[in-house]
Structure 1
Amino acid sequence: MPANPRNGRPYRRLCRDQRALRLPCWWCGEPIRYDLTGYAAQRHRDAFTLDHAVPLSLGGDLLAKANARSAHRRCNSARGNRTDGQRQPVRSSRRW
């Protein structure tokens, strides 16, 4: 069974380089909480995650810098594998 490429050095380097840019979320345009690291970043909805403009499930390249985008964890999860042309607003809650 091949190793998971997301655990490899090239993927971690891509995440580090993208994080260093300190860009706003490419999906909603709001600032990302780059100060969150470790366990807090894994759980917080406004933490940085590496998103891919062309989803991996649709043939996007995992390690291509041109495909890497900075996103909130919530935006990345809400987007799923939709492309930019299928953009839908991110809803934070169903409660009124």
Structure 2
Amino acid sequence: MASNPRNGRRYRTLCTEQRALGLPCWWCGKPIRYDITGLAAQRHRDAFTLDHAIPLSRGGDLLDPHNARSAHRRCNSARGNRTDHKRQPVRASRRW
């Protein structure tokens, strides 16, 4: 049985290094809540997640630092595997 590379040391190190940069979300440009960690970060929409400029499903490298980007959890999830930021931006849902 193959192990999950996201549980490996190289991936955790990449996440730590990216988090330490303190960058805004590369997708929406707004600040990320880097203070949210642990289990709370797995659920909070403004928490940091490691995103990939070239999505893994389109051949992007999971462990390549040049492919790593800081993103909000909500932006990373909403973006999916899209690559064209200008034609298909992530939009917040309407508030009625």
Q: Calculate the TM-score normalised by the size of structure 2.
A: 0.93
The answer as to 2:75 corresponding to 1:75 is yes
1:25 aligns with 25
Deviation >4 Å, runs of 4+: none
Q: SS of the counterpart of 2:42?
A: helix
Q: CA deviation at 1:87?
A: 4.6
**Structure 2 unaligned spans of 5+:** none
Q: In angstroms, what is the RMSD of aligned CA positions?
A: 1.3
Contact 2:27-2:85 within 8 A present in 1 as well: no
Identity of aligned residues (%): 81
Contact 2:54-2:67 within 8 A present in 1 as well: yes
Q: Calculate the TM-score normalised by the size of structure 1.
A: 0.93
Q: Give me the whole-angstrom Cα distance separating, in 2, the residues matched to 1:87 and 1:19.
A: 28
1:56 aligns with 56
More helix by share: 1
**Structure 1 unaligned spans of 5+:** none
